[in-house]
Amino acid sequence: MKRSIINIAIIAATLTTLTVSAQAEARKGHHKAPEVVFAKLDADQSNTITFDELLANIDTKAQKKLLRADTNTSSEIELDEYLNKKRHNFDLSEFASEIVQCVQDTKDATGNNNIIVPDVTKFAAPTTKFAQLDTDNSGGISLAEITAALTAHQTDIFSIMDANSSGEVTLEEFIQQGERKRATKDAVKACIESIVPDTDPV
């Protein structure tokens, strides 16, 4: 049964890889081309992105996240508000190890090195993730806590993109990160759909 699940996930991920060009064309109508996003981030037009440039709008992004989720205008995102978002309301924790193994098997079978195998903590229960974000245990996620979480996430992303530790990210490295993100998302989605019935949490 386990082998059948993994095979289904591998087939789905392989089909996704084979159709990536068509998908990229389709995305152009909905998302900005990576070159456009890169140019916007490259404030000093040096043809590279520094960590400071990547974080330039972090406060604005954090504010937008708070405003969207804070339906009772308490200036914090409380647990019920956090769970209102579909992907936060879906608990995959009991399947975490199986999903991670499936993604690893998919990467091994397809040879797609753009797939980044996630840690099991990515699939922690929503209440656990909420508690991790609520660092002061106030019962709500504040603007400062959202900003800290976004900064930590962008720090991890920058480290991955800046593979040679130069302190700068080139357009090629930026595009490569986009390819890693798509490949990983497709593999995770295929594994979740193979392992957990009637789901679409990604």
Cα distance between the two ends of the chain:
23
Rounded to whole angstroms, the Cα distance separating 5 from 185 reads 17
> How many residues belong to the chain?
202
Amino acid letter at 182? R
Per-residue pLDDT of the chain (202 residues; tens, 9 = 90+): 555 555 555 555 554 444 444 444 444 445 789 999 999 999 999 999 999 999 999 999 999 999 999 999 999 999 999 999 887 878 999 999 999 999 999 999 999 999 999 999 999 999 999 999 999 999 999 999 999 999 999 999 999 999 889 999 999 999 999 999 999 999 999 999 999 976 555 5
Is the whole-model pTM more than 0.85?
A: no
Distance of CA 92 to the CA centre of its chain: 16
User: Is residue 53 within 8 Å of 45, Cβ to Cβ?
Assistant: no
The full set of domain ranges for the chain reads 34-195
φ, ψ dihedrals at 77, nearest 5°: -95, 110
pLDDT at 30: 54
